[in-house]
Amino acid sequence: MDKTINNKAWFLVLPVFLIVAFSAVLPLMTVVNYSVQDTFGNNHFFWNGVGWFKELLDPSTDLGDRFLNSLGRNLLFSAIILAIEVPLGILVALSMPREGWRVAACLVILALPLLIPWNVVGTIWQIFGRPDIGLLGYTLNKLGFDYNYVSNSFDAWCTIIVMDVWHWTSLVALLCYAGLKSIPDAYYQAAQIDGASRWAVFTAIQLPKMNRVLLIAVLLRFMDSFMIYTEPFVVTGGGPGNSTTFVSIELVKIALGQFDLGKAAALSLVYNLIILIVCWVFYTVMTNADRERPQTTGGA
Amino acid sequence: MARIDLVDLAHSYGGGTYALKPMTMTWRQGGAYALLGPSGCGKTTLLNIISGIVTPSQGKVLFDGNDITHASTRERNIAQVFQFPVIYDTMTVGENLAFPLKNRGLPRDKIAARVGEIAKLLDLTPYLDRKAVRLSADAKQKISLGRGLVRPDVAAVLFDEPLTVIDPHLKWELRSKLKALHQALDLTMIYVTHDQTEALTFADTVVVMHDGAVVQSGTPEDLFARPAHTFVGYFIGSPGMNIVPAGVKGREAVVSGHVIGLNRSYDNLPAGGKIEIGVRPEFVHVADPAPGLLSAQIERIDDLGRVRFARVRIGDVKFAATVPNGVAVPEKTVGLVFDPAHIHVYSDSLLVEGRA
Amino acid sequence: MSITLDKVSRDVAGASWIRDVSLTLERGTLSVLLGPTLSGKTSIMRLLAGLDKPTSGRVLVDGKDVTGFDVRKRSVAMVYQQFINYPTLSVYENIASPLRVQGVARGEIESRVRDAARLLKLEPYLDRTPLQLSGGQQQRTAIARALVKRADLVLLDEPLANLDYKLREELRTELPRIFEESGAIFVYATTEPSEALLLGGRTICMSEGRALQVGETPLVYRRPETIEVAEVFSDPPLNTVGIEKKNGSIFYSGGERASVTGLYEGLSDGAYRVGFRAHQLEVANASPGRHAFVTKVSVTEITGSESFVHLTREGYNWVAVLPGIHEFLPGQELDAVLDPNDLFIFDQSGRLVAAPAAR
């Protein structure tokens, strides 16, 4: 629908502009500024051009090595949790009741993990996994597993993956449930009449109709997991060693730990760019999928 | 192919009100039936009971004598075409048609042969390799229908207002195709609709429903010429039958003080009943006012191209009458000519037989 | 108030939805937009209302250019195919809502709402919410809400399409009376030719975004300017056949040869397309003055008052309508006749060349 021009609306947006300018745009510009400069402290800055960016992408340098390794860890992490959360979320959505009071109960239970502040999630699992006072850690060790997320990097990875699955599968499940509910009953009746097996109903009716919802779920989960910071930081702090050091954690170490503002600024810009590109790819795929559908309107 | 019997069938969704009042009827094998009625009359409930989506709260449903009242939809081996096309998005047209046979485990060459047969019957052969999603609404409905027909032993094909989303021009094609299919395949077909043209053109037997009960069941000619209930007279025909209160004695009916002659004698009408006469607009003609004719005031003329209807008033009673071709309509007042052979007398909405 | 579309076109995402349409609608008139789905009816209505801006061309109200004016500045009311009412408000509140927005005095609101309710027979239902009403009543509420505004322009987009057949008939007989009493400009979109004929007024025949013909409804029906208009304005679909006039005879494609009589007399030699509606084709034996065809029945449809016979002949599919009940069997051969005084002749480009004389 074409909007007609009404310039007075801009005044309403002005306060928001100003706030965003101060809290986001100016700091962003500062970061860009830092990313092209170098400093030895004492507020002496000198021009470095694209130096930091070149270093970032060069695995032989320390910066590049750390960045590319942490990027690899991020990608591995995102791939694993997507591979677990999406099928699990679909399964949960399929198992949920469709009507009656049980629906409300299930929705509330599913929503609970999503409501918890992220650092609290991290803290819960940090304590939960401790071999001395944590229920999980203690039980696993009692059963004979040598579980210690502080010293063993495999255990650390398992812990943060399980934590993320616990935290976020509900989102995928809720989105898929919404998608499932929108399928008219007639499709299931037709499938019954056609003698379709449960699996055939899933592949021929439910999955195709959940397409768009699944795409959104995958996009959201990829973005969030790629940007993850709080939860793993609280649980493992990036350790043991740097086995769970993701890009965000690396970034904070460089910026606030080493106070290497130039390197950190460049890293954060590249990080931002990667996420933007991924979003753009998803968006294009989604809108292309929309255009493929035949147009149907109620009278044109 | 199945004969369907409904034995003392009724359904209530709870709360004491019947969505479907108790009924017993037989649907013969190979018949083309239409369930006709306004929204809420129970026709969709009845269809859902026959297809197995709803289990009736009382009574039995028999297919060829077997009690399938509690059998699942799949066990009944019926086909159903819904109001909007139901197709499997990820499959081509051919795969859609093959789906029911694949689920039964038929060998691939048999499936291909049967799909080819049905596609030819429905004019879908050129589209067999196209993705089903891309086709128009009427083609999709044909695919829905085809999936039902592809099983050679299907008991009955049920239609739930299938032409709702189809363009008017294409409705004609699909309708005559359905009729031709019925004649070619000798299947029991049950068609639910609120559109009387659809019902009357498709069915051999039309079952008119009103308020959960079957009001009349018969051929289109029967329903048109001898409605057993004033509702049938009103619902069938466009415009519907004129139904007006009258005083009937012997061979005369008195409407708003005017006398109309009848061709049967009605002597024993129940006292205290609501007496009405019904006559279709096709059997009432407009003419110049004359002393022997009932006079009426013209309200408007509806010109439909091939026929013209006059909306008139006799006193405070509204009538619709035909304007014969070539007749110029008088300005304000007209005379009405009735065809006594087509005037029916109703008492408490039910048809009364007169003596010749 | 009069509203004019001046050479209006509208393109959406590269596709042309409306092409070069010019129309003028006067106060107190009813115009029917007739055409198949996706022919541009809704787009035209949205342009008239100001919901969309044309890609080219102007929209004028009383001579003033209002192209691009926001719809809230225009005096418009619209009724949709899906009965759109405020679900939480009572029928009374629904009808009163546009008046409350306009800030009309309470006494005035009361009287106008009651008037509209009376006109649309909603008085017993004023306290109910729309979901407690039947489809027909919900649509009446929507129409009442559109009327009570006393807008200069009232648009109805296939308002009866979602209603039961009988309900549609009933509402349709009431609409002309309601329109006359109101005095605004009414624009009514529909896909059914019979609705256009019943409503009267003027008809704007649309196809593929173009306005094919505009005129008084009976005139457009009886004298379609092109074969496209005749096809849009026929239900059952228009029957056609090709002919060639040469050497003093008429040759129908398919082989029949007939003498040059009736409307064929005024034609110059050449090829033409003849169109005739279902009631112009008679199932009867050949008789002098009539052109006969041998056809085969494919299927007969009986409605009780009429019978529709589907015939095939040399690759043409025709439909004939006969009064009364006639059961013809598929495959049966039937003679069908045409009255050369009662058909439409179009030239090769589709323009009307001859039509039956007015009755």
Domain with A66 in it: what CATH number?
Answer: 1.10.3720.10
Q: Does C189 touch chain A (CB under 8 A)?
A: yes
Is C231 contained in some domain? no
| Contact check, Cβ <8 Å, B38/C319 | no
Total domain count, chain A: 1
Pick from A189, A197, A296: CB nearest B103:
A197
Q: What is the pLDDT of residue A5?
A: 61
Do C88 and C181 lie in one domain? The reply is: yes
Is C132 in the same domain as C210? yes
Sign for the CA dihedral angle at B224, B229, B230, B232 comes to negative
Q: Would you state the pLDDT for residue A295?
A: 40
- For residue A299, list chain B residues with Cβ-Cβ distance below 8 A: none
Looking at residues C267-281, what average pLDDT do you find?
88
CA C67/CA C133 separation, integer angstroms: 39
Domain co-membership, C11 together with C35: yes
Same domain, C181 and C244: no
DSSP-assigned letters across all residues of C260-301: --GGGGGPPSEEEEEEE-GGGEEES---TTSEEEEEEEEEEE
ipTM: 0.77
The reply to whether C72 falls in a domain is yes
Identify which of B74, B84, B133 has the shortest CB distance to residue A192: B74
**Residue A150 located in a structural domain:** yes
What is the C-alpha end-to-end distance of chain A, expressed in Å?
Answer: 14
Strands C153-157 and C185-190, by their bridges, are: parallel
**Position with higher pLDDT, C177 vs C159:** C159
C-alpha–C-alpha distance, residues C72 and B152, integer Å: 60
Taking the domain B4-228, which CATH number applies?
3.40.50.300
In a shared domain, residues C270 and C214: no
Among C201, C225, C249, the domain-final residue is: C225
Report if residue A7 sits inside a domain: no
Q: Between A172 and C267, whose confidence is greater? A: A172
Q: What is the pLDDT of residue C60?
A: 87
What is the pLDDT, as a whole number, of residue C263? 84
Structural domain contains residue C40:
yes
User: Residue A170: what pLDDT?
Assistant: 94
Whether C289 and C270 have beta carbons less than 8 Å apart is answered as no
Candidate from A35-44, A124-133, B47-56, C264-273 with smallest mean pLDDT: A35-44
What pLDDT is attached to residue C359?
54
Mean pLDDT (whole number) for C187-213: 89
Question: With 0-12 CB in 10 A as exposed, 13-18 as middle and 19+ as buried, what is A185?
Answer: exposed
User: pLDDT band for position C225 (50/70/90)?
Assistant: very high
Is the pLDDT at C182 greater than 80, yes or no? no
pLDDT tens string, chain B, 356 residues long: the values are: 678 888 888 888 777 778 888 889 898 888 899 999 887 788 888 888 888 888 888 898 988 888 888 888 878 888 889 888 898 988 899 999 999 888 888 899 989 999 998 898 888 889 889 898 888 888 898 899 888 888 888 888 999 988 887 877 788 888 888 888 888 888 889 999 988 888 888 888 999 998 888 999 998 888 888 899 999 998 888 788 998 888 888 888 888 777 888 888 888 777 778 888 899 998 888 888 887 778 888 888 888 877 888 888 887 778 888 888 777 777 788 888 888 888 898 888 888 888 87
pLDDT for position A94: 92
What number is the average pLDDT over the span C143-159? Answer: 88
Q: Per the structure block, which two tokens stand in for C152?
A: 């200069």
Q: Determine the Cα angle at C315 with ends C313 and C316, to 5°.
A: 65
> Does one domain contain both C22 and C93?
yes
* Chain B: partners with 3+ C-beta pairs within 8 Å: A, C
**Interface membership of A296 toward C (CB under 8 Å):** no
Domain check: are C158 and C42 in the same one? yes
Range of the domain at C317: 239-354
Domain hosting residue A251, numbered range:
58-292
pLDDT at A247 over 50: yes
Query: Residue A4 pLDDT > 70, yes or no?
Result: no
The number of folded domains in chain C is 2
Residue of B nearest to A200 (CA): B103
Which of C309, C280, C279 lies closest to C295 in space, CA to CA?
C309
More confident residue, A300 or C83: C83
Domain boundary residue, one of C191, C225, C259: C225
The pLDDT, as a whole number, for residue A105 is 93
Q: Is A97 exposed, middle or buried (0-12, 13-18, 19+ CB in 10 A)?
A: exposed
pTM of the model: 0.78
Residue B326 CB coordination number (10 Å): 6
Do residues C241 and C311 touch, judged by C-beta distance below 8 A?
no
Q: How does pLDDT run across C10-45, given as a tens digit for each residue?
A: 888 878 888 888 888 888 888 999 998 888 898 899
Give me the pLDDT at residue A3, please.
Answer: 53
Q: How far is A4 from chain C (nearest CA, A)?
A: 6
Residue in this structure with the two tokens 């001395």, named with its chain if needed: A132
Whether A114 shows a pLDDT value over 90: the answer reads yes
Summarize the confidence of residues A235-244 as an average pLDDT. 84
Counting one residue from chain B and one from chain C, the pairs whose CB atoms sit within 8 A come to 97
Is residue A300 pLDDT above 50, yes or no? Answer: no
Q: How far is A191 from chain B (nearest CA, A)?
A: 9
Q: What residues of chain C, 160 to 199, have a C-beta less than 8 Å from chain B? A: 164-167, 169, 173, 176, 191-194, 197-198
Residues of B in contact with C328 (CB under 8 A): none
Phi-psi region of B238 (alpha: psi -120 to 50; beta: other; left: phi over 0): beta
Residue C158 has pLDDT above 70, yes or no: yes
How many alpha carbons lie under 13 Å from residue B174 in its C-beta half-sphere?
25
Mean pLDDT of A148-175: 91
Cβ neighbours of residue A105 closer than 8 Å, sequence gap 6 or more:
none
The mean pLDDT value for A179-197 works out to: 87
Residue of C nearest to A295 (CA): C38
Task: Read off the CATH number of the domain in which C323 is found.
Answer: 2.40.50.140
Distance from CA of A104 to the nearest CA of B (A): 24
Tell me the pLDDT of chain A averaged across its residues.
86
* In chain B, domain spans: 4-228, 242-351
Chain B residues within 8 A of A297 when measuring between CB atoms: none
More confident residue, B180 or C68: B180
Nearest to C40 among A1, A5, A300 (CB): A300
User: Who among C52, C68, C82 is closest to A1 (CB)?
Assistant: C52
Per-residue pLDDT band at A6 (split at 50, 70, 90)? low
Whether residue A226 contacts residue A3, with contact meaning beta carbons closer than 8 Å, is answered with no
Which backbone phi and psi does C175 adopt, to 5 degrees? -60, -45
Which residue in chain B has the smallest CA separation from C197?
Answer: B304
Using pLDDT thresholds of 50, 70 and 90, give the confidence band for residue A41. low
Establish if A128 belongs to a structural domain.
yes
Nearest to A270 by CA among A254, A287, A286: A254
Local confidence band at C248 (pLDDT 50, 70, 90 cut-offs) = confident
C201 domain residue, yes or no:
yes
Domain membership of residue C232 (yes or no) is: no
Tell me, what's the pLDDT at B70? 87
In a domain, A276, yes or no: yes
Residues in chain A: 300
Residue A47 lies in a domain: no
Q: Are residues C155 and C61 in the same domain?
A: yes
Report if residue A147 sits inside a domain.
Answer: yes
pLDDT at B18: 81
Q: What is the CATH number of domain B242-351?
A: 2.40.50.140
Q: Identify whether C318 is part of a domain.
A: yes
